[in-house]
Amino acid sequence: MVLWRVPVISFHLARADNGVIGVDGRLPWHLPADLRRFKAQTLGRPMVMGRKTFDSFPAPLPGRRHIVLTRSTDWEAEGAEVAHTPAEALALAGDDVAVIGGAEIFALFEPDRVELTEVHCSPLGDAVVPPFDAWNEAFREDHPAEGDRPAYSFVTLVR
C-alpha cells in the first residue's frame, strides 16, 4: 500500500520591520548569528529557492540540496536541481522542505512553520515579504543592537 505524504514546509528568512528581505540580490544587513541559525536549520535538508536566490550564493551551500524554481526551461547550474512548478519542487524535495526565498517564491507556498529573524530596522530594499498575520508565536529570542548591527529577534511562528 502506498501512502501519500504531505510535505512539511517551513519558511526560513530574515525580514526587516518594514518587510524588506533584500536589496540588489543581497541581505541589507550582516548578522552572523542569523547565518549560523539558518545553517543549523537547513543543513541536511532540501531547500527550495528561486533562481535569483541561488545566484546570490558564491557557491552551492554545503550539506544541502538546492532545488531551484525557475520559469526558464533552459536554465541549469552545477549544484542545482531544477523545478518549473511548486508541485515539481515539492516532489523533488520529499516530505520535509525548507523554502528560503525570495519574495516571489515565498508567495507560492503555504508553510506549516516560519523560522523568522525579525531585523529591527527599516532599510531600503527591492524584495519585500508581507507580515505573517494570523500566526501564533511559539518561540522568541531577542538580541540587542551591537555596534553597527541592528537589534533582531529569532521567532518561530506556527498555525
Per-residue pLDDT reduced to its tens digit, 84-139? 999 999 999 999 999 999 999 999 999 999 999 999 999 999 999 999 999 999 99
Residue 57, C-beta contacts closer than 8 angstroms, at least 6 positions apart: none
3: in domain: no
Domain contains 157: no
Give the residue numbers spanning the domain of 90. Answer: 8-22+29-151
40-83 pLDDT per residue, tens: 999 999 999 999 999 999 999 999 999 999 999 999 999 999 99
**Does 114 fall in a domain?**
yes
- The answer to the question of residue 134 being in a domain is yes
Count structural domains, the chain.
Answer: 1
Q: What is the pTM of this model?
A: 0.95
In a domain, residue 33? The reply is yes
Confidence of residue 3 (pLDDT cuts 50, 70, 90): low
Provide the pLDDT confidence category of residue 6 given band limits of 50, 70 and 90: confident
Higher pLDDT, 56 or 4: 56
Give me the pLDDT at residue 141, please.
98
Reduced 3-state DSSP string for 93-144: HCCEEEEEECHHHHCCCCCCEEEEEEECCCCCCCEECCCCCCCEEEEEEEEC
